[in-house]
Chain A
Amino acid sequence: MQRFVILLAALLALAPAPLAPAWAQDTLLNVSYDPTRELYRAVNDAFAKAYQAESGRRVAIRTSHGGSGAQARAVLDGLEADVVTLAVASDIDAIAAKGLLAKNWATRLPDDSTPFTSTIVLLVRAGNPKQVKDWPDLIRPGIAVITPNPKTSGGARWNYLAALAWAMRQPGATEASGEEFLRKLFANVPVLDTGARGATNTFVQRGMGDVLIAWENEAMLAQQELGPGKFDVVYPSLSIRAEPPVAVVDSVVDKRGSRAAAEAYLRFLYTKPAQEIAARNHYRPRDTEVAARHAAEFPAIPMVGITEFGGWDKAQAAHFADGGVFDRIFAKGR
């Protein structure tokens, strides 16, 4: 009987071995957030080719997708991510706070380590039957708004801040009026999915709601994949520049000896081919030349940055932490 326990222990200890690839090649694990599946599938193929041409080494990239917060937690709990590509900087900050990567990670790559950007838009049903044109329309009675839970979804945090940015730019706006706007907005939300993709599915597949607040790339992808002509994208009068950051996880790459490949992978994101892939997947490229080529697809609208809210540190603590504004919205008036 004891022998059996030993056998079990041995089995458990040996188990990781068959999971490691048998042939010699570099492997990278990219732990990413929900709507980037299609993007990184294309990027990974392109990078593998470019990397082999350049260094002569083969590289296989695996990806893991989930809610941005959940993914950060998994990395903190020991998921061996070589690179993290998450929805909001605060999630990478949380990993850095535990010492897994340098605190100054954002400065190690151009543009605050955000190789492409996006913004927050409104997706409505074809012909816009409820005449949703801008943020104030979302708090009208009888409008059902779909947005995910900012506690679990990075995209939802951008949605929330974009709405708040508009409310705070209104004449005579105060913190109280901003909070009141959000309270009315969330009173119109019938379903709070845990991730951006879940919210899109609820809106598009399940037919719930009149308007979906979503990443621009997510809205365009949904339109393209699920029903051309069934949905319209509405650009609000003001939105937020959503900057999903990328970083190499120092402690993991140093342990695995994969730093060179990991850094090459992230640098590749800034190259023209990768920027082109990003643009085709509806992310706004940083590269001016690529951006110019796709200018027609990405209307220029007024956008605020996260600095409007004092950076992610402050925004996270004020709005999304336990007892923050989001909790207050739900504590009151329900």
Chain B
Amino acid sequence: MTAGVQGGVGLRAPGWERWLAIGLALLVLLVLLVLPLALVFAEALSRGWAGVASALADPDAQSAIRLTLLVAAITVPVNTLGGLAAAWCIARFRFPGRGLLLTIIELPLTISPVISGLVWVLLFGRNGWFGPALGRADIQIVFALPGLVLATLFVTFPFVLRAILPLMQAQGSAEEQAAITLGAPAWRVFLHVTLPNIRFALLQGVLLCNARAMGEFGAVAVVSGRIRGLTNTMPLHIEATYNDYQAQAAFAVAALLALLALVTLAARAGLEWGTRRER
């Protein structure tokens, strides 16, 4: 794949059909994507910047922001390490059940977020499998930080793996084997050979994982308990303030979250650009 392919040839056949296609595509993007986003910002700013500032300064909002960042800070590294290890196993080794493992890892993508929350309640709720044992040990999992983390882990589970697996499979293991033959220990091979090769794909996966971790609503709603200032994450706080007749404050927090998402997307686009240039 070279830049020339997509740069040059396609351009030489303009004509009204091309512009119609561009127009239609932009219309799709406008109606489906841009307008909802514009609305979030318009509503957030409906009482000016002071309204935004006071909405974000609210102690419950602050606690929601902190909690969301904390949850993301735990889930993203865990799923990154897990995803790396799993991708490495699947790309480099043949073992029975490899296909099954891949299917299982992808399962969370096809599961309703509501179910993703429900499963943890079924496990760790008072009436769940481990509920009585946890109750005796006085460990709170659902309706506390661990539950939020577990639900988010489940939802963002396959993102890193999906981002790096195709690349690792395509690249093959020749370089790694060469390094091993030369006597490098496995972890050094991983650090100096494998990792640099996949770093952009990995970063993309991490960014998407992070965006989803911060924005998850359905799964988190089931396990949060919605205690204000304690277990409300940003998406839950948005819903709560919206229901408090404070639409502007809700949209202000939503705008912040959308902004975080946009930064993520921009970082991703920048990375893609970087990758392309490097090739």
Contacts and interface: CB of A to CB of B under 8 A. Distances in A.
**Do A and B come from the same complex?**
yes
Contacts of A205: 247
Contact of A19 (B127, B144, B228, B247): B144
A64 B227 contact: yes
A201 B228 CA distance: 21
B242 to A, nearest CB: 7
Contacts of A19: 144-145, 230-231
B246 to A, nearest CB: 9
Given A19-B144, A197-B243, A205-B247, A78 B126 contact: yes
Interface residues of A, number: 37
Contact of A4 (B81, B145, B231): B81
Nearest to A201: B243
Most chain A CB within a 10 A radius of its CB, from B125, B128, B135: B125
A29 B143 CA distance: 12
Interface of A: 1, 4, 8, 11-13, 15-16, 18-19, 29, 31, 34, 37-38, 62-66, 74, 76-80, 98, 195, 197-198, 201, 205, 221-222, 225-226, 255
A80 B143 contact: yes
Contacts of A13: 139, 146
Nearest to A204: B245
A15 B225 contact: no
B162 interface: no
B150 to A, nearest CB: 8
Given A19-B230, A76-B126, A225 B139 contact: no
Nearest to B148: A15
A13 B229 CA distance: 21
Nearest to B125: A77
25 contacts: A4-B81, A12-B141, A15-B146, A15-B149, A16-B140, A19-B230, A19-B231, A37-B243, A62-B227, A63-B228, A64-B225, A64-B226, A65-B226, A65-B228, A65-B243, A76-B127, A78-B124, A78-B125, A78-B131, A78-B135, A98-B127, A201-B245, A205-B247, A225-B245, A255-B138
Given A76-B127, A77-B125, A66 B229 contact: no
Interface of B: 74, 78, 81, 85, 121, 124-128, 131, 135, 138-146, 149-150, 225-231, 240, 242-245, 247
Given A29-B227, A78-B131, A12 B146 contact: yes
B226 A1 contact: no
A160 B111 CA distance: 34
B243 A62 contact: no
A64 B245 contact: no
Nearest to A195: B243
Most chain B CB within a 10 A radius of its CB, from A37, A38, A205: A37
B143 A78 contact: yes
B225 A16 contact: no
Contact of B121 (A1, A15, A34, A77): A77
B219 to A, nearest CB: 15
Nearest to A4: B81
Contact of B143 (A15, A63, A77, A222): A77
A77 B127 contact: yes
Given A15-B149, A16-B140, A64 B228 contact: yes
A65 B244 CA distance: 10
Contacts of A18: 145
A309 to B, nearest CB: 29
A11 B131 contact: no
Given A79-B143, A222-B245, 16 more contacts: A15-B144, A15-B145, A15-B146, A15-B149, A16-B145, A19-B230, A38-B244, A64-B227, A65-B228, A65-B243, A74-B226, A78-B140, A198-B243, A201-B245, A205-B247, A221-B245
